[in-house]
Amino acid sequence: MKNKKIWYSIIIFFIISLVIVEVIDIKKKNTPKEENVINEQVTKIDQTEISDNTINDQIQDNLVEQEKVEEESNESIDINEVQVTEEKNKSINLLEQDLQNDKKHTITESSKQISQESPKLETSKSNNEQTENKIQEQPKKEEEKETAAADKKVGVFLPSAADDSRWALDGESFQTALEGDGYDAEIFFADEDSDTQVSQIQSILDDEKTSALVIAPVDAYGLNDVLEQVYEKSIPVISYDQLIMDTDKINYYVTFDTRKAGKMVGDSIIKKMDLEKAREEKRTLTIEFLMGSPDDRDALFFYNGVMEKLQEYFDDGTLVCTSGKQTLDDTAVMRSGRNTAKNDMAEILSQNYTEGTPDIICTGADDLALGAVDALEDAGHVSGEEGWPMITGCGCEAEAVTAVIEGKLADSLFFDNRVLANDCVTMVDTLLKGEKPEISDYEQYDNGTKIVGTVTSDIQLIDADNYQMLVDDGY
């Protein structure tokens, strides 16, 4: 009996150990309710006084209870496994959704970036296409420009004979520049005959290609009637070198700024004769004038420019005109003839300078300056010796430049007619392109009917210090 009890006790201990181990395992997985049931069972077992008579019943009860617990535990485990599986599947689904969302976001961002880059790409493509088009169109435009210009004729009317060195150079400059711009240029020389020039102008009006006229007038007052005919044809007219007078049928004027030229001569006299020092020392210098032709408006502008600089020295007595011939009317030389100038100066010398010469002789043209040299040399005066006056020229004619080099003339103004002709061609080209030319003077040039918009070309003063530039320039 005693051994039997021991055997039962071992069995019970073994069963209880199994139950405890199972409870611990279940405890990790089960709900609190299930844990409480197991704990109560363990407590009951611990507290129960086991008797020999009830051990079997207790074992049976415990076995039954254990089976129930195991069944519930298995059910709970199955439920937990299902829950874990569901949670796992749910997490996997959420992860997949996140991945999908990230993918969509990435795709969306990429799409946005592509959308943002697309206009740039399109713009770049468009710019490249435009550049290519411009490159392709440039030769076409040049061809169109040349074709358009080739369909237009420009008539250039010059006053002199074709063998006049000055005007022949102008004609050559016009021909080269106009044809260089693609225009058909026709140059006319009037041989100083006004009627010839009028006939030449009329001869070109019926040509449908005639698109513009450049006129350097033989007679500035003799073109009114023919310019009416030109106006009816809607052909623009540019007055060249000399202003056409008493008509509103000219569009523009291209010339040298002769007022500025006069100022340049005045400044040269002030500097080379040191009039400021003479003023301080209360010395008086004598001056005589040989101005341009009275029918030449440029002569008036030139004279006004000179007097604008010298008048103050007349006012304070630093300069004196001994002959009294100081106004333009008194000093103008018709047609600026050399012989006329020689005679006029010879008269001034004989009447006012029997014992010497003027300190200064200011002239408005090279021929006038050379006429003064002739008169001085005829009177026995020699250049380079004491008493030889300062003589100013204007025009840089070849003989005058030689006289500058030899010291007979102090200086001469260089009016580069190539520059003048090119400036005029630029204006013609601008007009025929339908554009408005840049005008340098809208005040000074009044032809008696209107103020004519004028482009003025640059002038240079040439003396012994810089005459070499004319040689280097091929002039």
pLDDT in tens, 139-181: 554 555 555 566 899 999 999 999 998 899 999 999 999 999 9
Confidence of residue 133 (pLDDT cuts 50, 70, 90): low
Residue 191 has what pLDDT? 97
Helix or strand run (H / E) with residue 115: helix 55-150
Cα-based distances in Å from 426 to 192, 301, 363: 26, 25, 32
Q: Are 289 and 391 in contact (CB under 8 A)?
A: no
Residue 20 has what pLDDT? 63
Q: What whole-number distance in Å separates Cα of residue 92 and Cα of residue 89?
A: 5
Is the pLDDT at 210 greater than 90? The verdict is: yes
pLDDT in tens, 338-389: 999 999 999 999 999 998 999 999 999 999 999 999 999 999 999 999 999 9
CA atoms within 13 A on the CB side of 401: 17
Confidence of residue 312 (pLDDT cuts 50, 70, 90): very high
Question: At residue 284, what is the residue type?
Answer: T
Q: Which residues have a Cβ under 8 Å from the Cβ of 216 and sit 6 or more positions away? A: 157, 158, 159, 167, 170, 239, 240, 241, 242
Is the pLDDT at 109 greater than 90? The verdict is: no
Is the pLDDT at 111 greater than 70? The verdict is: no
Q: What whole-number distance in Å separates Cα of residue 137 and Cα of residue 440?
A: 35
Residue 471 has what pLDDT? 87
pTM (predicted TM-score): 0.66
Confidence of residue 54 (pLDDT cuts 50, 70, 90): very low
Q: What is the rounded (10 degree) CA torsion for 393, 396, 398, 401?
A: 60
Q: What whole-number distance in Å separates Cα of residue 8 and Cα of residue 178?
A: 138
Residue 161 has what pLDDT? 94
Q: Are 349 and 306 in contact (CB under 8 A)?
A: no
Q: Which residues have a Cβ under 8 Å from the Cβ of 316 and sit 6 or more positions away? A: 279
b/e for 217-233, b at 16 or more Cβ within 10 A? bbbbebbeebbeebeee
Cα 86 to the center of its chain, rounded Å: 77
Rounded mean pLDDT, 396-409: 96
pLDDT in tens, 274-301: 999 999 999 999 999 999 999 888 899 9
Residue 70 has what pLDDT? 45
The tokens of 280 are what? Answer: 């301080």
Instruction: Say whether 158 sits in a helix, a strand or coil.
Output: strand
82 or 362: whose pLDDT is higher?
362
Which of 25-39, 170-184, 296-310 is predicted with the least confidence, judged by mean pLDDT? Answer: 25-39
Q: Are 255 and 243 in contact (CB under 8 A)?
A: yes
Confidence of residue 12 (pLDDT cuts 50, 70, 90): low
Kindly give the pairing relationship between strand 411-414 and strand 460-463. Answer: antiparallel
Residue 283 has what pLDDT? 97
Q: Are 374 and 342 in contact (CB under 8 A)?
A: yes
Rounded mean pLDDT, 237-245: 96
Residue 473 has what pLDDT? 82
Give the DSSP letter of residue 397.
-
Is the pLDDT at 78 greater than 50? The verdict is: no
Rounded mean pLDDT, 52-64: 45
Residue 306 has what pLDDT? 98
Neighbours of 185 (CB within 10 A): 20
Residue 87 has what pLDDT? 46
Among 15-24, 25-34, 109-118, 400-409, top mean pLDDT goes to: 400-409
pLDDT in tens, 193-208: 999 999 999 999 999 9
Q: Are 413 and 461 in contact (CB under 8 A)?
A: yes
Average pLDDT of the residues of the chain? 80
Give the chain's radius of gyration (CA, Å). 57
Q: Which residues have a Cβ under 8 Å from the Cβ of 453 and sit 6 or more positions away? A: 251, 252, 253, 437, 439, 441, 442
Q: Which residues have a Cβ under 8 Å from the Cβ of 66 and sit 6 or more positions away? A: 15, 19, 22
CA angle centred on 216, ends 214 and 221, rounded to 5° = 115
pLDDT in tens, 314-325: 999 999 999 999
Helix or strand run (H / E) with residue 258: helix 258-272
